[in-house]
Structure 1
Amino acid sequence: MGQIFCNNINYLGRNSFRLGRAATALVTLFALSGNAFGQDSAASENAGGATQLAPIVVSGQSSGTSDDKTVAAKKSRGATKIDTPLVETPRAVSVVTKKEIEERGAQSIIEAVRYSAGVQTGMNGFDPRFDQIFIRGNNITTTGDFRDGLRQPFMNYGMFRTDPYALDRVEVIKGPVSVLYGAGSPGGIVNKISKLPTEETIREVGVVYGTSDRAQTMFDFGGPVTQDDDTMLYRIVGLARKGDTNFDIADDRYLIQPSFTWKPDDSTKFTVYGSAQADETDANVGAMVGPDGNILNLRDSDPDYDYQKTRQQQVGYQFEHEFDGGFTFRQNLRFSHMDLRARYLSTYNWTGTVAHRRATAIRDAMNVFQVDNQLESKFDTGPASHTMLFGLDYTNVNSSFGYGFDATTSAAYDFDISNPTYGVSGPTPDYNYSRVSASMRQVGAYALDQIELDKWRFTLGGRQTWVDQSSDTTFVSSGTSTSENINNKAFSVQAGALYLFDNGIAPFTSYSTSFDPVTQRSASGSILDPTKGKQYELGVKYQPPGTDILLSAVAYHLVETNKPVLVNPLTLVYASLGEVTNKGIELEAKATVADGLDVIAAYSYNHSEITGGDDVGNSPSITPKHIASLWTNYTFQEDSVANGLTAGAGIRYTGETYTSTANTSKNDASFYLDAALSYDFGAADKKYKGLTASLDVRNIANRRLTICDSGYCYLGQGRNITASLKYRW
């Protein structure tokens, strides 16, 4: 580990000229924050002469509303499954609170996380089919999607979708987390925390209208079932949306999410919840590549023919009981069902200016059962205080998949780029290429010890995972079939150490590994080898006690083996890339620096290199070295003539990327401006208290850059505007 530490130091030195300005700015912000809040580095002493830590003021719970009334969250369960202050957690975690989601008017998970350090979005242009997210150069879209601590699995093509309006917060845990969650990307996970019942009464209705003819209505009601009894709580969230987005891509959604909590005493809590969601977007959102290889501002498919319809339902419960003697038992159980049907057109050759297209159809269905059992114990061994977590989890996924396309071409789908006309219709092809029936069962036993020893904080954890996979593939056109049964097992580890100074500065280091039995298949139909990863991390956090400020600077060395990459989108064929090494630095600040003024800043430098397999020495495609963002939001105070007005502005930058692992050409760097404006009518007249109007503009300059990956190209999202009106009482 010492050698790796030295290598990282040498690496950082070689690249210091790139990071100097950003690091200087962060150090300056550290110093200013310490001076501004009068921090004293000297420790206070009690009567016995022992050093005593300065108090850290914490408000609310990890998924509660009080902690989410600032942009700088105080606690999170995501990194350790134990409710822990972020400044005492020895690894990098970014939390997007409810306040931040509302300030920026986020309409998707992608919009919610894209101002977080180490997070890359838009790497495949504008693609609303899935929440496509990279963390530290790793694509976690299919492997890092979690909700309420349970994974939303991927098997073939379809994925579970989540609307930010249904959430209280989004947690981005960076680096391998297999010790706690089992299968997962070495880049990390995005854990979305649902809105659940609270003792606070919640009443909200709202409407949204925006680009393009996008109309939405939503509501959120909750609180005690009866006024005089807080043992029974409820919450119901709903949303209905109809309309399109840029590029004539549909964006329809209907969501209902009820939940109920019963608390018979202070030691027991039982929450049952459910959700039903129907989505419709388009299946081929790519841009057309002309006969000369140029990227055209034209849809490759036809908006009238194209669709991707997804229906999903989830039902589950969360149970918690605290026993005498410092023991707490938790059980998190969920059943999920997803059904997807899609069809689209795509170009296969040209005659002059006429594109010849053929139709493709996809059917995907998935049933998921999950349960996570946890036993938490608190005890002391001499001067050390332990919070020990033991867990046993089980996941069972069954899926069926069908894929087909027109065996013969139809002139009805031809498209003349010299006279572009949309509006074709036609039948949906049969699933005549391949049909797959697959299952995956995962069992994991894990333990994590979180230790407090004076000002030191340690975590040490391990997990044994067993995975059984089976797959039966029938190639309909040839009449052949293949069957495969795979048993995998792996032991994962996680260790971290942090020292908490009295003034809120907390240097830390960590090491963790990951294991992911992927479900992608090769050209022969066989399942690819599992992905494995390991990460070394060194960083420092700073949270001045009693403030809503959290700053962090982190360096990491992350290695992934058997990374799956899509080599043929037409037949959904993948291959293992080999080994990829990511080294980088992340700087992040989330702070309320003055009354009404919030600042969210992030910078990431990531050197990504293929270190095994083909194209050794090159960079993976669509992986930038530099990502930066800055968001500021100011709410005018009561003594201002603009009382009730809130204004926000943001800037996002993503550096240039290679279009393939061959590194022969590049995608341009992207630079976007965002803005938000809202007004609380209650500031003008108290009878309008709770009525708020908002205007949010994304990509103000309407920049629509082309992004290509391994021969397939997409256009970035153009200017997107939404106006909303909400009433809370």
Structure 2
Amino acid sequence: MKVERAGKCSSSGERSLPRLRPIHIALMLGLAGFSAHGQESPAAASGTDAAKELPAVAVRSTAEDPQGPGVGYVAKRSKTGTKTDSSLLTNPQSVSVVTRQQMDDQGVQTVDQALRYSAGVYSQDGTDIRFDQLYGRGFALDSYLDGLHLYQSPRFATPRIDPYFMERMEVLHGPASVLYGQGSPGGLVNYVSKLPTEEPYHEVMMQVGNHDDYQLGFDMSGPVDKDGTVLYRLTGLARTAETQVSEIKDQRLAIAPSVTIRPNRDTTFTLQGSFQRDPNGGLFNPVPAGVTLFSNPNGQLGPDKYFGDPNRDGMHRTQYWFGYQFDQAINDKISVSQNLRYLHIDQHYYQTSVTSPLAADDKTVSMWGNVDNEHYTQFEVDTHAQARLATGPVQHTVLFGLDYQRSMLGDTEGNSVLGKVNLYDPNFSALPTQQANTRLDYSLSTVGVYAQDEARWRNWVLTFGVRQDWTGGNQQTTLLSSGSTSIYHSNNHAFTWRAGLAYEFDNGIAPYVSYSKSFQPVLGATYSGAPFAPTTGKQVEAGVRYQPKGFDGFFSLAVFDLTQDNVSVTDPSHPTFAVQTGQIRSRGVELEGHANVTENVKLIAAYTYLNQEVTNSTMINLGKRPQIAPRNTASLWADYTFHSGPLRNFGLGSGVRYMSSSAGDAANTFEVPGRVLVDLGAHYDIQNWRLALNVNNLFNREYISYCTTASVCYWGATRTVLGTARYQW
């Protein structure tokens, strides 16, 4: 059973169990003596029997489930960094955890919002909600759900998971190929699903916000039978909203059922599924720097303007997936797990957008047309065995795994320059409708085998892992008018590894150092016809973590040196082709702290310094900073909840976010200014209700989030106000 496994001591002994305070003991005694309806339980009525049951309740209350919601703002255990139930204190790489309570207190409605207060992570933070655009340590972050990859298609059909369906989010910083296969050197974010619970739980949630934001949700869970061998959970959501740009809609209808079957204490089988329909899933809205960042004799155009055809543009997405999580304990030392998922997306997308800088009249731009009818499928299965054993005084947690991943896309598409418009007096109806003219068929398969050993000797923890991957990719592009076809094939293999060493002092301080590698396949070929090799990443990371004894908290400091090789750059001899001689280096420092300081006070603080540079290139970006990434980011969030006095059950939270300037284009000819944003939250608990109000960007700061060229900049999110009423029983 999951709860019983979570209750076992780790190899570090008692350190895995937090200190019990008087309030915890009192709460456990109260729960043991009274049922959920406030009536005296049979155990309490029988006296002696109640005393016998108290120790079991205490163990369940103090053990942290690495896939659970966390405690307040703090999580100390995770599976994302090692695929085992391990302490974050001795993890070989940095892992940032966003708990369920943090998401609720901050009124999170998107993944971008949930990660705003995490070290090293930044996003568009604006109105482009077509997919989650997350970056870490200077590179795009991959998205995972319950440890399986949510691949982004070569076009636009990208899986999206609403935060309401998540128990927590975890960011693994830096290369992660040794456990997960192909991926970005920046790392990944793993969304942990809400799973069936042993105790009955019911919630209905209603939200209303500015920009005509209306949302309803429900979350029901508990045992099906009296023995708890079958558990269920059913979570649903319906949302209709506009954004600060009224032409961009955000609409969603989603439901996620799951059932856990536990025929005995050693077997857990959870069936999961989800259906999601986004009638309006957001739009792309780039804007030239010439009408936003730079002065213009005609005036600047604000963050509420849509620079596309509102009558024809739209994105409609239907997404569904199903799979399972299976865990079998062979004995008290060996267990086997398997996760499997099939996912499919049907997406229809039409978009017009700005594609050039301003013309000489400071008004006119060229408009790009794009149409996609995508059918995208993913299948993944990951099987691994875990063994706990000893070689003399050394305790080992050994992991062996095999995984298979396949993604396939069929897309009827078309794109071209449609014409020119005057942004100050646009006539989009004069533009022709973009027609589909190309068929794209794409597939990518990967098979990987991996092994890992977490070895503990006294206070030392050595983590070492290796992996071998074999990948095969195909891309066929067919012109519908002529039937001519171009085909790319790639077959690659990659060996990656990771090593980390940590020392855990008795006072809760743990310094560590690690080395990790990654790879990522690239479809395409050079002028000579040679297929592109995968890009590769390598990282050295060192730091220290602190888990205080006097209060519930977790603090980390990490320094890293990360390099990506085999980056595609222009072939000097054949400018319409590419060669893989590019290199990008990221160096930086990340600090992060989460603390439940007292019963009343919870804190989150983060700071990141990132020095990123293109260290090898044939283009004008050599020696320059890549776009998007700010050099400095900092954030602080605090929540104070009264538990006595006239303001009892009232809480007030506030946060400040700082982002420094970023490079606006590859040549670094201009910068996007930095900004400081303030968020506010308030909540009040009364009986079974929680009433909350959240305001993001309190002072309605207007800012450009980032630019990739002078033609393509993005407005950041203006002030949003969200009221929430949540009823739980």
- Give the TM-score category using the shorter length: 0.7 to 0.9
Partner of residue 703, structure 2: 705
CA offsets, 1:160-214, max 9 Å, x none? 0011000000000111110100011111100000001010211000111112101
Query: Using a 3 Å threshold, how does the CA distance of structure 1 residues 110 and 219 change in structure 2: closer, same or farther?
Result: same
The reply to whether residue 617 of structure 1 matches residue 623 of structure 2 is yes
1:314 to 321, 325, 331: 321
Alpha-carbon distance, 1:417 to partner: 4.3
Answer yes or no: is the 8 Å Cα contact 1:156–1:520 preserved in 2: no
Q: Write out the 4+ residue segments of structure 1 that deviate beyond 3 Å after TM superposition.
A: 288-295, 347-359, 405-409, 414-422, 424-429, 475-480, 518-529, 562-567, 573-577
Query: Using a 3 Å threshold, how does the CA distance of structure 1 residues 408 and 174 change in structure 2: closer, same or farther?
Result: closer
Query: Using a 3 Å threshold, how does the CA distance of structure 1 residues 418 and 448 change in structure 2: closer, same or farther?
Result: closer
Instruction: Report the 3-state secondary structure (helix = DSSP H, G, I; strand = E; otherwise coil) of the residue aligned with 1:173.
Output: strand
Matched residue type, 2:151: P
CA offsets, 1:387-444, max 9 Å, x none? 10000000111111232147875xxxx755445688x699863311x32101111000
CA distance in 2, matches of 1:563, 1:102: 40
Partner of residue 42, structure 2: none
Matched residue type, 1:431: A
Alpha-carbon distance, 1:511 to partner: 0.6
Matched residue type, 2:641: T
CA distance in 2, matches of 1:207, 1:76: 31
Alpha-carbon distance, 1:694 to partner: 0.9
Query: Using a 3 Å threshold, how does the CA distance of structure 1 residues 100 and 574 change in structure 2: closer, same or farther?
Result: farther
Answer yes or no: is the 8 Å Cα contact 1:304–1:425 preserved in 2: no
Partner of residue 669, structure 1: 674
CA distance in 1, matches of 2:287, 2:580: 27
Alpha-carbon distance, 1:641 to partner: 1.3
Partner of residue 269, structure 1: 268
Alpha-carbon distance, 1:476 to partner: 3.9
Instruction: Report the 3-state secondary structure (helix = DSSP H, G, I; strand = E; otherwise coil) of the residue aligned with 1:487.
Output: strand
CA distance in 2, matches of 1:678, 1:520: 53
The reply to whether residue 235 of structure 1 matches residue 239 of structure 2 is no
Partner of residue 391, structure 2: 381
CA distance in 1, matches of 2:309, 2:584: 37
Matched residue type, 1:276: F
Gaps of 5+ in 2: 1-18, 22-58, 572-576
Query: Using a 3 Å threshold, how does the CA distance of structure 1 residues 416 and 325 change in structure 2: closer, same or farther?
Result: closer
2:593 to 580, 583, 589: 589
Partner of residue 43, structure 2: none
Partner of residue 278, structure 1: 277
Alpha-carbon distance, 1:721 to partner: 1.1
CA distance in 2, matches of 1:437, 1:332: 27
Query: Using a 3 Å threshold, how does the CA distance of structure 1 residues 290 and 628 change in structure 2: closer, same or farther?
Result: closer
Answer yes or no: is the 8 Å Cα contact 1:305–1:425 preserved in 2: no
Instruction: Report the 3-state secondary structure (helix = DSSP H, G, I; strand = E; otherwise coil) of the residue aligned with 2:611.
Output: strand
RMSD: 2.9
Query: Using a 3 Å threshold, how does the CA distance of structure 1 residues 186 and 356 change in structure 2: closer, same or farther?
Result: closer
2:651 to 634, 646, 650: 646
CA distance in 2, matches of 1:419, 1:462: 59
Partner of residue 679, structure 1: 684
Answer yes or no: is the 8 Å Cα contact 1:361–1:403 preserved in 2: yes
Alpha-carbon distance, 1:533 to partner: 0.3
Alpha-carbon distance, 1:480 to partner: 3.2
Partner of residue 216, structure 1: 215
CA offsets, 1:469-517, max 9 Å, x none? 0111123466532112110101000111111111100011111000111
Answer yes or no: is the 8 Å Cα contact 1:156–1:519 preserved in 2: no
The reply to whether residue 506 of structure 1 matches residue 515 of structure 2 is no
Partner of residue 133, structure 1: 134
CA distance in 1, matches of 2:442, 2:527: 16
Partner of residue 20, structure 1: none
Answer yes or no: is the 8 Å Cα contact 2:568–2:579 preserved in 1: yes
Answer yes or no: is the 8 Å Cα contact 1:494–1:512 preserved in 2: yes
Query: Using a 3 Å threshold, how does the CA distance of structure 1 residues 523 and 357 change in structure 2: closer, same or farther?
Result: farther
CA distance in 2, matches of 1:408, 1:556: 45
Q: How does 1:170-181 map to 2 (within 5 A)?
A: 170-181=169-180
Alpha-carbon distance, 1:385 to partner: 0.5
CA distance in 1, matches of 2:460, 2:624: 41
CA offsets, 1:49-106, max 9 Å, x none? xxxxxx9x952311124xx232110210000000011112132111101111111111
Query: Using a 3 Å threshold, how does the CA distance of structure 1 residues 664 and 427 change in structure 2: closer, same or farther?
Result: closer
Answer yes or no: is the 8 Å Cα contact 1:290–1:296 preserved in 2: no
Partner of residue 32, structure 2: none
CA offsets, 1:99-156, max 9 Å, x none? 1111111111111111011111227x5421111111111122xxx1101000001231
2:406 to 392, 396, 403: 396
Partner of residue 634, structure 2: 628
The reply to whether residue 533 of structure 1 matches residue 537 of structure 2 is yes
Answer yes or no: is the 8 Å Cα contact 1:284–1:306 preserved in 2: no
Answer yes or no: is the 8 Å Cα contact 2:454–2:463 preserved in 1: yes
Partner of residue 43, structure 1: none
CA distance in 2, matches of 1:527, 1:428: 35
Partner of residue 656, structure 1: 661
User: Which has the higher mean CA deviation after the structures are superposed, 341-350 or 186-195?
Assistant: 341-350
Instruction: Report the 3-state secondary structure (helix = DSSP H, G, I; strand = E; otherwise coil) of the residue aligned with 1:102.
Output: helix
Matched residue type, 1:641: P
Answer yes or no: is the 8 Å Cα contact 1:200–1:223 preserved in 2: yes
Matched residue type, 1:471: Q
TM-score, normalised with respect to structure 2: 0.84
Matched residue type, 1:241: R
Alpha-carbon distance, 1:593 to partner: 1.2
TM-score, normalised with respect to structure 1: 0.84
CA offsets, 1:627-653, max 9 Å, x none? 10000011111x221111111000111
CA distance in 2, matches of 1:100, 1:251: 23
CA distance in 2, matches of 1:377, 1:284: 48
Query: Using a 3 Å threshold, how does the CA distance of structure 1 residues 418 and 523 change in structure 2: closer, same or farther?
Result: farther
The reply to whether residue 112 of structure 1 matches residue 114 of structure 2 is yes
The reply to whether residue 695 of structure 1 matches residue 696 of structure 2 is no
CA distance in 2, matches of 1:475, 1:499: 59
Partner of residue 195, structure 2: 196
The reply to whether residue 552 of structure 1 matches residue 559 of structure 2 is no
Answer yes or no: is the 8 Å Cα contact 1:441–1:469 preserved in 2: yes
Alpha-carbon distance, 1:360 to partner: 2.6
CA distance in 2, matches of 1:203, 1:463: 42
CA offsets, 1:647-679, max 9 Å, x none? 100011111111122111111012111111111
2:337 to 326, 330, 336: 330
CA offsets, 1:444-484, max 9 Å, x none? 00000011111111100000000000111123466532112
Query: Using a 3 Å threshold, how does the CA distance of structure 1 residues 597 and 574 change in structure 2: closer, same or farther?
Result: farther
CA distance in 2, matches of 1:527, 1:101: 44
Q: How does 1:379-458 map to 2 (within 5 A)?
A: 379-405=389-415, 416-419=422-425, 429-432=434-437, 434-458=438-462
Partner of residue 94, structure 1: 96
Partner of residue 382, structure 2: 372
Answer yes or no: is the 8 Å Cα contact 2:285–2:353 preserved in 1: no
Matched residue type, 1:366: Y
Alpha-carbon distance, 1:364 to partner: 2.0
Query: Using a 3 Å threshold, how does the CA distance of structure 1 residues 118 and 281 change in structure 2: closer, same or farther?
Result: same
CA distance in 1, matches of 2:422, 2:254: 39
Gaps of 5+ in 1: 1-33, 37-54, 568-572, 682-688
Answer yes or no: is the 8 Å Cα contact 2:369–2:417 preserved in 1: no
